[in-house]
Amino acid sequence: MKKNKNKNSGFTLIEVLIACAIITVSMFALMSTAQKGLSLSREALLMSQANTLMEEGAEAVKSIRDNNWTDVSNLNLNTNYYLYFNTNTKNWKLDTNSTSLLGYEPTYPVDGVFSRSIVVSSVERDANDDIVASGGTVDTGTKKITVTVSWTSTSGFKSKNLSFYISNIFN
């Protein structure tokens, strides 16, 4: 009878070792899944923030247009501009200086993560008054605006663009 008891004790020890191995592998799998979930959550947050910054940039350019069309139409084409906000006058301003502008607060880099630039391009129209990529007549009352937000994430450098047209609607 003593022999059977020893066999059962040895078998129980092997079961405990196998159970420990299964629990260990399961815990590593769960930790890996949690890590990936956190990483994807961070990426989604950064993407959401980038979308918000692009929309803010678009609304700021529209506000500048609404205040004075010449503030947009006189900008150099295909040049990076940066947004500034005057907290006293509550007005936006575009400038090529990427670091500071007297009397204005820079709106980038945001949290040291994001950078945002705005490029103004000319718009050409064909004989039917439709916008064309090239070969038309330059429409001085319409500009193409491209807001670019870029950032570095755990998966590398990322960038998003938002392009739209604005017109001199108060002319």
pTM of full prediction above 0.85: no
**pLDDT for position 100:** 77
Token digits of residue 74: 């006189």
What SS3 class is residue 107? coil
**pLDDT for position 83:** 92
b/e burial code for range 116-127 (CB count within 10 A of at least 16 → b): bbbbbeebbeee
**pLDDT for position 8:** 55
Whether the CB-CB separation of 106 and 60 falls below 8 Å is answered with no
Whether the CB-CB separation of 119 and 148 falls below 8 Å is answered with yes
**pLDDT for position 71:** 93
Whether the CB-CB separation of 94 and 118 falls below 8 Å is answered with yes
| pLDDT tens-digit map of 47-77 | 999 999 999 999 999 999 999 999 999 999 9
**pLDDT for position 14:** 86
Whether the CB-CB separation of 145 and 58 falls below 8 Å is answered with yes
| pLDDT tens-digit map of 3-43 | 555 555 566 888 888 999 999 999 999 999 999 999 889 89
